[in-house]
């Protein structure tokens, strides 16, 4: 069966261009909760008009609601889904997998697609989802292996590539206060680092591979692009699917890009970076009717919207949770009575010795598992955990969900609201939430990063050990397995703030410490014991992150 051709529509003009030139389906955003907040997007009335136009021409419409959702937005989020449903949307695209069950209960005939932002590399634990949009950093073999599971798969075939692994970028958020997870990415990867464009990616193009892509849907990126781009890309991919591809088509395709093209991770291309940017154009909300396909009929009645209430829960085990990377750090962490759990990376050669130190000091020992893993590696790590037999694990990949009895979810999984906490269980809460937002959780059984390193990017692209931006800020780069982690230029330090958190009922504090373990644990212990400390002096050179300001 021929794959679906899925085209972006950032505005009505581009939507019409996509329909006229052979799109099978369109994806678009409404005015809230979509990862392209800077696109024209569609109001409720405009959405109804757009879907009516598309359905008359046999084209499906998928509505993107793929940002992270705050607790105070949950009701509005579900109301927006209701609007999309009533308007006749064929599917919604979400990042928040914790909402999938509730959506399917209320709107059983509305398809739910897991966004690339959800970072799904493994489908075995995925429920209440009708399609998965795979991350762009997967290669051909990995895509083929995932496709064998049988769930409909969608992959990106054309358009911009993120330097960071999908769903793991906090760089725009922490440098400029504009969160990519909330649709406001400032694209810091397009800036110079070490006086070079180290992270500015070329654009993806898999048009020459069209006949070997055995997936349900081929997705073109570009809700911020202009009409000419949409027309050309749609026309050429339609031709490639129906008739075949030739080199003249590729030359024509290059004509609408001002970045070089690459086959990216799909073909394991070595050189993927490019220094160029894009421009955008005006919009128009008037449609012509094309009637190029059989009309899609949609008859829907308004559903009773019921939102599950969250039960209140307090912290199960107050105390310090400390991630270290040396045996010295393990020993120093074990000296403190407030320390309940030590996190240690599973692939460290001295992991058994670290476990023994914790056991001797009556501390819980948790293995930190890697962030990026394929199916085979997941099975390998399950075996490793059984062999080492820790007290629990710290996970940062959906592939490890439900694989272990005692599990804490890392902040890379973007636990952002009470639904997420219920879905993932005990977690390190997203560092993008501010104090007020943290205190309004009904379930307070979570960890807060109060001191140490914060990973602002995780990437499969090679980087040097340190990068410096044009303002002189330095970012340490750590290699882990076959990927790289960029640490923020400043460490988090919530010194006096731990007293505010404790007073509000949040008492589980997470430390990510590569050095000075004893020093910082001693300082925080003394603060919590009521000792007066000059925190302004010792906190110099650190950041409070989003604790006070938060993100929009």
Residue 278, pLDDT above cutoff 50: no
Strand partners, 145: none
Q: Is 391 found in the same domain as 255?
A: no
In a domain, 182, yes or no: no
Residue 257, pLDDT above cutoff 70: yes
Q: Is 326 found in the same domain as 262?
A: no
Pairing of the two strands 203-205 and 153-160: antiparallel
Q: Is 341 found in the same domain as 253?
A: no
pLDDT at site 287: 67
Q: Do 369 and 330 form a contact (C-beta atoms < 8 A)? A: no
How would residue 276 be classed by pLDDT, with cut points 50, 70 and 90? low
Average pLDDT, the chain: 92
In a domain, 476, yes or no: no
Q: Is 385 found in the same domain as 325?
A: yes
How would residue 39 be classed by pLDDT, with cut points 50, 70 and 90? low
Residue 280, pLDDT above cutoff 50: no
Residue 302, pLDDT above cutoff 80: no
How would residue 256 be classed by pLDDT, with cut points 50, 70 and 90? confident
201-229 in b/e burial notation, b at 16+ Cβ within 10 A?
bbbbbbbbebeebebbbbbbbbbbbbbeb
pTM summary value: 0.94
In a domain, 547, yes or no: no
148-172 in b/e burial notation, b at 16+ Cβ within 10 A?
eeebebbbbbbbbbbbbbbbbbbbb
**Least confident interval from 30-34, 58-62, 255-259, 292-296:** 255-259
DSSP 8-state assignment for residue 292: -
**Least confident interval from 109-123, 206-220, 281-295, 460-474:** 281-295
Q: Is 356 found in the same domain as 247?
A: no
Positive or negative torsion for Cα 109, 110, 112, 113: positive
In a domain, 379, yes or no: yes
For residue 119, what are the domain limits? 4-161+201-267
Q: Is 114 found in the same domain as 12?
A: yes
Residue 255, pLDDT above cutoff 90: no
How would residue 282 be classed by pLDDT, with cut points 50, 70 and 90? very low
CATH number at residue 238: 3.20.20.70
Q: Is 253 found in the same domain as 371?
A: no
Residue 235, pLDDT above cutoff 80: yes
In a domain, 544, yes or no: no
Residue 279, pLDDT above cutoff 70: no
Q: Is 355 found in the same domain as 229?
A: no
Q: Is 364 found in the same domain as 225?
A: no
pLDDT at site 158: 95
pLDDT at site 288: 66
Residue 286, pLDDT above cutoff 80: no
Percent of the chain with pLDDT over 70: 96
Q: Is 93 found in the same domain as 11?
A: yes
220, 229, 233, 63: which is closest to 156 by C-alpha?
Answer: 220
pLDDT (tens digit, 9 = 90+) per residue, 84-138?
Answer: 999 999 999 999 999 999 999 999 999 999 999 999 887 877 889 999 999 999 9
Mean pLDDT of 242-250: 87
In a domain, 61, yes or no: yes
pLDDT (tens digit, 9 = 90+) per residue, 516-540?
Answer: 999 999 999 999 999 999 999 999 9
**Could you give the number of structural domains in the chain?**
2
pLDDT at site 418: 97
In a domain, 153, yes or no: yes
pLDDT (tens digit, 9 = 90+) per residue, 201-227?
Answer: 999 999 999 999 999 999 999 888 889
pLDDT (tens digit, 9 = 90+) per residue, 317-327?
Answer: 789 999 999 99
Residue 403, pLDDT above cutoff 90: yes
In a domain, 276, yes or no: no
Residue 281, pLDDT above cutoff 50: no
Q: Supply φ then ψ for residue 180, to 5 degrees.
A: -65, -30
Rounded Cα–Cα distance for residues 389 and 391 (Å): 7
Of 225, 248, 267, which marks where a domain is finished? 267
- What is the number of alpha carbons within 13 Å of residue 220 lying toward its C-beta? 32
Q: Is 359 found in the same domain as 243?
A: no
Q: Is 229 found in the same domain as 359?
A: no
pLDDT at site 285: 52
């Amino acid at each position: 069966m021929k794959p679906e051709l899925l085209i972006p529509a950032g505005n009505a003009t581009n939507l019409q261009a996509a329909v006229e030139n052979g799109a099978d389906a369109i994806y678009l955003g409404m005015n809230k909760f979509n990862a392209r907040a800077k696109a024209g997007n569609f109001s409720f009335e405009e959405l109804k008009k757009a879907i009516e136009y598309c359905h008359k021409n046999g084209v499906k419409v998928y509505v993107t609601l793929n940002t992270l959702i705050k607790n105070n937005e949950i009701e509005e989020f579900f109301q927006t889904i209701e609007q999309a449903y009533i308007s006749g949307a064929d599917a919604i695209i979400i990042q928040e997998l914790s909402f999938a069950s509730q959506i399917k209960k209320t709107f059983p005939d509305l398809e739910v697609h897991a966004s690339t932002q959800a970072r799904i590399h493994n489908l075995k634990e995925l429920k209440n989802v009708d399609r998965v949009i795979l991350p762009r950093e997967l290669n051909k073999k990995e895509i083929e292996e995932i496709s064998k599971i049988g769930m409909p798969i969608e992959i990106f075939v054309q358009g911009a590539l993120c330097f960071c692994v999908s769903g793991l970028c906090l760089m725009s958020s922490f440098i400029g206060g504009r969160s990519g997870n909330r649709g406001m990415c400032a694209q810091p990867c397009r800036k110079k680092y070490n006086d070079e464009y180290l992270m500015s990616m070329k654009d993806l193009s898999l048009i020459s591979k069209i006949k070997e892509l055995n997936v349900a849907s081929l997705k073109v990126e570009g809700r911020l692009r202009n009409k000419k781009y949409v027309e050309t890309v749609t026309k050429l991919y339609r031709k490639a699917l129906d008739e075949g591809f030739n080199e003249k088509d590729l030359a024509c395709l290059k004509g609408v890009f001002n970045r070089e093209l690459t086959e990216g991770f799909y073909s394991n291309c070595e050189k993927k970076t490019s220094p160029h940017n894009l421009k955008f154009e005006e919009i128009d909300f008037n449609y012509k009717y094309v009637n190029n396909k059989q009309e899609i009929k949609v008859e829907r009645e308004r559903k009773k919207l019921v939102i599950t209430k969250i039960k209140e829960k307090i912290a199960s085990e107050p105390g310090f949770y400390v991630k270290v990377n040396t045996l010295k750090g393990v020993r120093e962490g074990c000296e403190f009575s407030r320390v309940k759990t030590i996190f240690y990376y599973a692939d460290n050669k001295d992991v058994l010795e670290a476990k023994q130190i914790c056991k001797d000091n009556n501390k819980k020992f948790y293995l930190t598992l890697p962030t990026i893993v394929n199916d085979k590696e997941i099975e390998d790590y399950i075996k490793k955990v059984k062999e080492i037999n820790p007290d629990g694990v710290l996970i940062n990949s959906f592939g490890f969900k439900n694989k272990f009895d005692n599990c804490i979810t890392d902040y890379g999984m973007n636990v952002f609201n009470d639904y997420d906490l219920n879905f993932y269980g005990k977690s390190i809460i997203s560092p993008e939430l501010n104090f007020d937002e943290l205190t309004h959780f009904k379930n307070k059984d979570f960890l807060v990063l109060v001191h140490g390193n914060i990973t602002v990017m995780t990437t499969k692209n090679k980087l040097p050990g340190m990068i410096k931006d044009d303002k002189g800020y330095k970012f340490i780069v750590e290699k882990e397995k076959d990927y790289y982690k960029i640490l923020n230029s400043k460490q988090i330090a919530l010194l006096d703030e731990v007293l505010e958190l404790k007073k509000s009922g949040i008492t589980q504090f997470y430390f990510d410490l590569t050095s000075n373990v004893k020093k910082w644990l001693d300082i925080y212990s003394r603060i919590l014991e009521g000792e007066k400390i000059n925190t302004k002096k010792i906190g110099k050179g650190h950041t409070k992150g989003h604790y006070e300001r938060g993100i929009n």
